[in-house]
Chain A
Amino acid sequence: MRGLSISQRGPSLRVQAASARWIAAALAMTLAAWLAAVAGLLAIANRVHDDVPALLAIKLPLLQSRPELIFAGESRTVYQVDPNLAARLIGRPPGTVVNIAYDAGEPLALLSAIRRQPDRFRQARVVVSVAPFLFNEGVRSAAVYPQDVAARLGVAGQMRSFLPLRVGTLIRFIREAFGARLAADQHVADLGPAPTALGLNIIDRTQPDDRWPDKIGSHAHYADWDLSGPKSRFEIGALCDMVALVRKLDVVVPPWAPRYDRASDPAWRDKDDQYAALVADAGRRCGFAVINIQSIPGLEQGNYADEMHVNASGVPIYTSYLVSRLKR
C-alpha cells in the first residue's frame, strides 16, 4: 500500500495523482468494508430471524377468542375482509371470525404461527389470500419480498440475489429480523392487546388518477416472470403443510380492479393463469380448496382504492361474496 502514501513535498502532479489514488482506494475499501458488514449483519439477522414477523405477531392475540373462521394472508385480506360482517353472514357471534392477515403476508409465516399455537387453529377453517409476488421470483422489491423465504436463502444466496440493485430488500430483511425477534421476546402474540375491528383495516382514500397503472401485465407483481424459484417452492410447501394442521384450508386468489380487462391484456392473462394453475395444482395434490376470483358481481371501479385493494365501500361487497363462496 506504499503507493497510497502522499509525499506533500513531491511535485504537484505527483501529489495530485497520489491524492486521486487515495480517494479511489478509500472508496474501494468503503465498498469492501460495507460488503463485509452486510455479510456480518445478514448472518446475525439470519440467527435472530423469527418466521412470525412483528406485523403478524400483533394480530395473534385475536386468536384468544378461539375463532372458528380465520382469514389470513396478504393485504387483500387485511383491507377487504370484515370479520364482523362475515360472522353475521354465517350466523355466528362476533369474535368467532377474525382477520390476521398483514401487508405482504406470506404462507410460511402463517404456518409458523400455526405450529406455535396448534390448538388455536386445529378446529378453525383458515382462508388464506395469495398474490403473484409471493411466487414470482422476479419480484425482488423490499416492500413485498417474503421475509421467511429470504431467511432460507443463507447469507451467500441473499447477497447473490439482491446485490447490488436490491440492497433495500436486504436492509428490510435485517430490520424485520430484529423487529420479529423483539416481538417474540416481548411475547406480543400472547400478551399484546388485540387489534381493533377484529383485524380489519380500511383504506379511506382513492389513489390519484396518474397512479393507476395502464396495464396489469406490466405491473411490478408480474415483472421478470419466473415461478420456478425458491419462493414458489417454499410458499407452496407451506400451504401444503398447513392442510394437516387446520380443520379446512381455502386459498383465495382475489381479483384486480374491474377497469383492467384480462381479455385485452394477454401478457397478464397468461401469467395470471400460470400462477393460478400453480396454486390449483398444489391444492389438488395437497388437499386444499382454491377460490380463484376474477371478478365480483356488484364490485365496481368506484369501490377500488387502487388497482388491487377495495376502499371502504367495497369491503361489504367483497366480504359478502367471499363468504358466499366459502358456503358453497
Chain B
Amino acid sequence: MLFSSYTFLFQFLPATVLAFAAARRHSPRAGIMVLVGASLFFYGAWRPVYLLLFAASVAVNFALGLRMEDPLRRRGIGTFGVALNLAWLCYFKYTNFIFDSLNTLTGAPLPFVNIILPLGISFFTFQQIAYLVDVMRGARVERDIVSYTLFVSFFPHLIAGPLVHHAEMIPQFKRGRTGRSAVLAARGLAIFAAGLFKKVVIADNLAQFVSPVFAHLDAGGGVTTPWAWLATLAYTLQIYFDFSGYSDMAIGLALLFGIRLPVNFRSPYQATSIIEFWRRWHITLSRFLRDYLYIPLGGNRLGEQRRYVNLLVTMLLGGLWHGAGWNFLVWGGLHGIYLSINHLWRGWRGSKPEVSMAGLVVKGACWAITFFAVVVAWVFFRAKTAAGAWQMLEGLFGAEAGSSAYASPGILRLMDLPMLVGEQRLLLIGGGAVALALAMALCLPNVPQLFRYREYRRAPERAAWVRWRPNAAWALLSALALAISLFGMWQRLEFLYFQF
C-alpha cells in the first residue's frame, strides 16, 4: 500500500485516524493498540504471508531483549541476536548476489534462488540490531511487547524509514498526554501534503527523463551527451524529491498520531562538502552507520590511516545496505573515497570549516565540486549494470556519441498525460524541469525548516525566511498541493527506496 495510493489515502488512513481518535478517548494505551493493529494490517496488505516473517522477527528480537536482562548472558545473547538478524537479512537480500558473484569468480554452477525480498527488511532489521546493541551496552530492556512492536512496525516509517531509534520512539508511546493533538495533526497534514507533492508532482514527473535512458544503457545502447546529462541530473533530483518526499510524508503521518519521527533530509544538495552532504542526506542511516559501524570499528580514535579504512568500510557496507549489487558497492566506495579526501583536505587546511574562511567564489566552487561528485556517484547507484554505468559516464563526458533513439519519440508525460512535443523540445523541457527542481532544492527551505519541525526531545529547526503558519494562506497552499498531487497519483510509481 503506497502512501500515494487512493486505497491508502481514502480508506486506510481515514479509518486508522478515526479508530485512533476514538480509542484515545478511551485511553492512550488503546490508541497505541490501534496503531499496532493498523501497522500490522498495513504490512500484511502487501503479502499476508510475509506478515508472519515480520512478526517472527519482532517476536524473536523482543524475546532476546528480555533474556538480555541477565547481565551474565547479555553479551552472548546480544551477539547471537545481531548475528541472527544479519543472517536473516543476508539470506533474503544477498543470497543471489553472493551466488552470482561466486559463479562469476569461480565458475561454480550455483543456482538462482527465487527469494522475494520482504518489504522494508533493511529498515526493520537495522532498527532491531540497534536495539540489541544498545541493550548490550547497558540500555534499558523493553518489557512491553506492544510498545516494542509499534517501535518496529509503526506504519509511517515501516517500509522506507526514517530509520528510527528505540530511545526516541518507545517513550513517546508511553506518554499519556493528548493535549496538543489537533495542533500536531494540523502541522502533520501540511507536512504530508508537502511530501506528497514532492513525490508525486516533482519526482514522478522527472522519472520520464531517467528511466528510458538508463534502461537503454543497461541494454547495451549508447547515449548522446545532452541526454546523458539530462538523465543523470534528473535522477539526482528525482531520488532526492522521491525519498525526502517519502520521509516528509512519514513525518506528517506520524504527527497525525502525535508521534515525532526523526528528520531524514536537510537540503543535502546545498552542502559545500561531502562531509556536510552526509550530515544532510538520509540522516538516520548516517547516524546508524556512525553509531553502530564506524565508531565500533574504531572511528577516528586509532590514527589517521585506520580512520580512512574505517570510513571506506563503513561506506562500502552502507552502499551494500542499499542493494545487493556491485554498483551499490561502487557507489558506497566512491563516497568512502570522497569522505577520506574531504577529511584529508580538512586536515591539511586546518580544522576550520571551509565555508567560514572562504568568500562567495570559493564557497561556490566547493558546492560545485561536491555536487559534481555526488552526481557522478549517482550514475553507479542508478545503473543496473556496470556496463550501463560506464556507458553513461562516457556519454556525460562526450567520449562516445550514442543515438537518441532510446528516448520516447518526443513524448512529454505531464502527470502521465502524454503530449507529442518533438525530441528537441522534450530535451529543452527536461532541462527546464531539472533547472526548476534544482532551484527548489537549493533556494527553498527544507520541510523541517519550513514547518519549524521539532524532533523528539530536540529544539525546533532553525527558522527559515519563509515559515509555515496555520492560517488561511497556508491552508490554501496545502490544499493546492494535495489537490494537484491527487491527479499525479494515477501514475502509481513506487517509491525508489522501497527496493532497499
Contacts and interface: CB of A to CB of B under 8 A. Distances in A.
Do chains A and B stick together as partners?
yes
Interface in A1-48: 1, 4-6, 12, 15-20, 22-23, 25-30, 32-34, 36-37, 41
Contact of A15 (B183, B189, B418, B483): B183
A11 to B, nearest CB: 11
A306 B183 CA distance: 53
19 contacts: A1-B471, A4-B475, A6-B470, A15-B183, A16-B179, A16-B180, A20-B182, A22-B470, A23-B189, A26-B190, A26-B479, A29-B476, A29-B478, A33-B482, A33-B484, A174-B417, A181-B419, A182-B411, A182-B420
A174 B418 CA distance: 11
Given A6-B471, A23-B186, A34-B486, 4 more contacts: A6-B186, A26-B186, A26-B189, A29-B479
B364 to A, nearest CB: 38
Q: Is the interface of B mostly helix, strand, loop or mixed?
A: helix
A287 interface: no
Contacts of A19: 182-183, 185-186, 470
B53 interface: no
B487 interface: yes
A148 B408 CA distance: 28
A209 interface: no
Contact of A23 (B185, B417, B469, B486): B185
Nearest to B181: A16
B472 interface: yes
A172 B416 CA distance: 12
B471 A33 contact: no
Contacts of A28: 479
B490 interface: yes
B20 to A, nearest CB: 15
A51 B34 CA distance: 50
A175 B483 CA distance: 17
Contacts of A18: 470
A26 B411 CA distance: 35
Interface of B: 179-183, 185-186, 189-190, 193, 409, 411, 416-420, 469-472, 475-476, 478-480, 482-484, 486-487, 490
B42 to A, nearest CB: 22
A318 interface: no
A185 B421 CA distance: 10
A37 B489 CA distance: 14
B186 to A, nearest CB: 4
Q: Which 5 A-B pairs have the closest CB atoms?
A: A29-B479, A1-B472, A33-B483, A19-B182, A34-B483
Contacts of B179: 12, 16
Contacts of B472: 1, 4-5, 25
A33 B484 CA distance: 8
Contacts, number: 95
Interface string A147-188: 000000000000000000000000100110011011001100
A4 B471 contact: yes
Contacts of B479: 26-30, 32-33
Interface of A: 1, 4-6, 12, 15-20, 22-23, 25-30, 32-34, 36-37, 41, 171, 174-175, 178-179, 181-182, 185-186
B483 to A, nearest CB: 4
Contacts of A185: 420
A12 B180 contact: yes
A16 B178 CA distance: 11
A186 B411 CA distance: 10
A163 to B, nearest CB: 14
A233 B411 CA distance: 36
B177 to A, nearest CB: 11
A23 B478 CA distance: 10
A254 B190 CA distance: 53
B443 to A, nearest CB: 25
B186 A22 contact: yes
B419 A182 contact: yes
B219 to A, nearest CB: 21
Contact of B470 (A5, A27, A32, A182): A5
B205 to A, nearest CB: 15
Contact of B487 (A5, A37, A182): A37
Contacts of A5: 469-472
A23 B483 CA distance: 15
A182 B410 CA distance: 11
A5 B186 CA distance: 12
Nearest to A178: B417
A175 B486 CA distance: 14
A175 B417 contact: yes
A26 B475 contact: yes
A18 B418 CA distance: 43
B352 to A, nearest CB: 38
Contacts of A17: 182
B185 A186 contact: no
A41 B475 contact: no
Nearest to B482: A30
A25 B475 CA distance: 7
Nearest to B414: A178
Contacts of A182: 411, 418-420
B28 to A, nearest CB: 16
Contacts of B186: 6, 19-20, 22-23, 26
Given A4-B471, A25-B472, A186 B420 contact: yes
Contacts of B411: 182
Contacts of A30: 478-479, 482-483
A185 B185 CA distance: 47
Contacts of A179: 418
Nearest to B416: A175
Nearest to B478: A26
A16 B475 contact: no
Contacts of A34: 482-483, 486
A29 B475 contact: yes
A181 B421 CA distance: 12
Contacts of A16: 179-183
B469 to A, nearest CB: 8
Interface centre among A5, A6, A23, A28 (most CB of B within 10 A): A23
Q: Which of B181, B411, B469, B479 has the most CB of A within 10 A?
A: B479
A155 to B, nearest CB: 16
Nearest to B420: A185
A263 to B, nearest CB: 41
B203 to A, nearest CB: 20
Contacts of B193: 26
B349 to A, nearest CB: 44
Nearest to B178: A16
Contacts of B470: 4-6, 18-19, 22
